[in-house]
Structures are given as structure tokens and as C-alpha cells.
Amino acid sequence: MLSKLSPLFLAFCLILLTNQVRAELTIEVISGVDQQTRIAVVPFNWDGSGIAPSAFDQIIANDLRLSGLFDVIPPQNMLSFPSPGDEINFRDWRVLGADYLLVGGATISGGQMLADIELYDVPSGRQIMGRRVTAGRDDGRDVSHRISDLAYEQITGIPGIARSRILYVADALSDEGDRRYRLMLADQDGAREQLLVESEAPIMSPAWSPNGEEIAYVSFETTRSAIFMQNLATGERRQLTNFEDINGAPAFSPDGTKLAMVLSKDGNPELYMLDLITNEFTRLTDHFAIDTEPNWTADGEALIFTSNRGGRPQIYELDLQTGRIARLTYVGDYNTRPRLSADGRFLVMIHRNNGSDHIAVQDLTDDTLIIVTKTNLDESPTISPNGALVMYATKLDGKSILAAVSLDAGVKYNLPASSSEGVREPAWSPF
């Protein structure tokens, strides 16, 4: 029986990786909101020795541009280059149509990098933020991302995500022609790519712990699927499951003490919960259908998951206290890979209707469903920590790439690999 279930399950909930190559991601902004906020990010004054460790203004500008909400004035169009504390001629910036002006300077002091910034509302000529940001002496990119987030939140009222990171999976052919699978970590803009795990066997389903210090993922390195957990700082990892057949879809609870997963150790793919403190497993579902892809609600009191118990794959919610299961999706003949926004209002999923897989967002307050992508073969959605964007895997010119779209479909960008091949299985970090 298990030999018949496994291929069905894998086709239903686990996406095997295709020909891809490890490569740093690049960004191609496709569209932003119709009325973007126009901002000038003046090149920073550098008061340290030697060359500045980062082009602060360029990183900040890219972060803001990537959000799709900002039109950033290029330096070559600027009429002056003020620094913090300078007297600013706001007429220069009003001529350029700037809504906001960000000026800054950085230096090294006491082994730390110090960056002072000032943010101005140009129409009123009023300073609306002044801050000092500190980091390690070589952490110019971290300083820049922090400044981006401060400016973004000051202007929009929404926390920024420039400091967030992403996990993703790639694979490559070695010089000998063998396929190697890689679990990668990078900044949310694709920079500072880091290899975490490399294997001759497939890797999939990466997931973040709520504190961002550990990850879980599925690897086939033991000749069958197994769930591993790994500390990002130390690289230490441990195998959590070693049952026959299916071990998949790990998801950390909001408090980080439990891991939901899918196991078929008792004969059918069911939802289980592993207590990471006691190492005890608890079976959560008991149905002849396939239950898979668990994801937690923000309060940790329920799981949303995919099941074909109604005949076709749809999304359900399991109350962990009562065991009550409620169906959440009815539109479309196939809805899988559920993810909830942090406020619990929006359900993001893979939605299939008339044979095409798209990213869709369902407002759980009124069950309105919006299809936010037009590409085919979209998969593996993951929501940004501020709930503004969804990153997913898709196809572009026959290659697997990562892409992102806002929940209202107004902002879109692609993150293709800089080589000729691609990447899959993104997972967005928490704050």
C-alpha cells in the first residue's frame, strides 16, 4: 500500500527539483504601484579610512525600489549632495518632484560603524526622522538595510523587510556530471549568498524557526526522505525523523517548541506534531485521504493544511484543542500549499482553475479570492514577514526562477539566477 501512496503523495505535495545551478540571484522589477512615492537618497558622506565598505545609498535605493512603492531619483539628476547637519535647499528637491529626501553619513569609531541619517518631508521642508545606526565595522550592507527599513516604516507605517533573508534550493551538475543539490541562504535581495547544505540527494521544504536561528528541511541523503533541523550560526544539525516512506513538510510552531510535519509511518500520510523538547510525536489527523502541507496559525492554536478528503486537493483548518476540521477553500478545482499572513486575514495558496497553477490570495473575512499571478506552473509561495509580498517559484523562458508579488498584485519582481539555470523552494525569514 505504501508503495502506491508514495508517488501520489510526492506528486501532490513535494516538488522534486529540476536542472538548476547555484548562482547569486539578481533582481528585475516588473511593476510597481501606479502612484509611487518619489524619494531622493543622497550618496552618503564617508568619514572612515580607505574606501567605504558599501555603497550605502545604492543599497538603500535598491531596497526601496524593490518594494515597488518608491521612485528613486538617480544621483546624476541631483542638484546638490547634502549630508546630515547641512542646510538643505528644499527648492532643489521640489524642482525634482521629490516627496522625501534621505541624507546620511558614515564613519568608523571604536571598532564600530556609525551611520547618521536624516529623513525630510520635502513639500513641508520638515525633518521627520533622525537616527544613528550602528553595526560591525565591516557591516555596511547591514547598516544600509537597517536604514532602508527605518525609512520605509516612517513613510508607509509598515515594517520594512530589507533585513530579512530567504532560503531556497538549487542544484547543479558537478564537473564529473553528477547532480548536486544545495540549500542556500541569501539576503532578501539575493545578495550574500551562502551555501548551507550540499548533497547528492534532493533537498526540499526549507522552513524557518520563529527566532530565525534554526531551520528545518527535508533531505533524501539517507536514501529516503528525512527531516533535519540545523542551527544557522553553528552549522550543527540533527536528524529528526527516520521513519519508512514519507517524512515531509516541516513547519515550526509560533513559539518554536514544536514542529508539524507529514508522516506515513502508520500507513497513510497524516499530520503529526513533534515536541522538540520531549521528542514525542503526536498524531493529529486520521483519515484515509492524503493530509499534507501543514502551516500554523499565528496564535499556534490551529493548523491549516492541504487534503484531498473532499475528492480533490483543498485547504482545511484543524483546531488543535477540539480536533475540529473546517474546509477553507471552495473556488477552483485544486488549492494547495497554504500560507497565512501574520494577521491571519489572508490565505495564500497555489490555485488551479482550467489547468493553470497561479498564486491566489483569499481574504478570510469575506472569502474573496484574487489571482495575483498570470504565469503558469507557479509553486511554493512564502509570505514576507510584514505581510506585504509573496515570493514563489515559477518558470521564465523555460527556467526555474523566484518571483515576488504583492497581495494586491500591484508590485511584481523577478529574482532569476544570474546563470542560465534556476532556483526553487523559497522560504522567507521572520523579522
Q: Averaged over 17-29, what is the pLDDT?
A: 51
Nearest to residue 258, comparing CAs of 291, 218, 204, 294?
Answer: 294
3-state secondary structure of 154: helix
pLDDT at position 419: 56
For the stretch 248-301, pLDDT in tens is 999 999 999 999 999 999 889 999 999 999 999 999 999 999 999 999 999 999
pLDDT at position 4: 36
Q: Averaged over 148-173, what is the pLDDT?
A: 94
Topology of the domain comprising 2-17+167-428: Neuraminidase (2.120.10)
Q: Averaged over 127-143, what is the pLDDT?
A: 94
pLDDT at position 410: 87
Distance of alpha carbon 289 from its chain centroid, rounded?
A: 30
Indicate if the pLDDT at residue 179 is higher than 90: no
pLDDT at position 261: 98
For the stretch 67-126, pLDDT in tens is 889 999 999 999 999 999 999 999 999 999 999 999 999 999 988 999 999 999 999 999
C-alpha cell at 230: 540545523
pLDDT at position 296: 97
Indicate if the pLDDT at residue 13 is higher than 60: no
H-helix or E-strand spanning residue 127? strand 126-136
Q: What percent of the chain has pLDDT over 90?
A: 75
Confidence bin at 24 (pLDDT 50/70/90): low
For the stretch 37-70, pLDDT in tens is 999 999 999 987 777 778 999 999 999 998 889 9
Phi and psi torsions of 91, nearest 5°: -60, -40
pLDDT at position 1: 33
Task: To the nearest 10°, report the CA torsion of 369, 373, 374, 378.
Answer: -110
34-156: CATH homologous superfamily? TolB, N-terminal domain (3.40.50.10070)
Strand order in the sheet with 379-383: 28-31, 412-415, 399-406, 389-396, 379-383
Indicate if the pLDDT at residue 212 is higher than 60: yes
Task: For the chain, give every domain's residue range.
Answer: 2-17+167-428, 34-156
For the stretch 219-245, pLDDT in tens is 999 989 999 999 999 999 999 998 999
Are the CB atoms for 142 and 115 separated by under 8 Å?
A: no
User: For the chain, what is the mean pLDDT?
Assistant: 90
Are the CB atoms for 399 and 21 separated by under 8 Å?
A: no
Confidence bin at 26 (pLDDT 50/70/90): confident
Are the CB atoms for 317 and 307 separated by under 8 Å?
A: no
Confidence bin at 175 (pLDDT 50/70/90): confident
Are the CB atoms for 276 and 259 separated by under 8 Å?
A: yes
pTM for the full predicted model = 0.89
Q: Would you give the DSSP letter of residue 8?
A: H
pLDDT at position 358: 94
Could you identify the residue written with the cell 520605509? 152
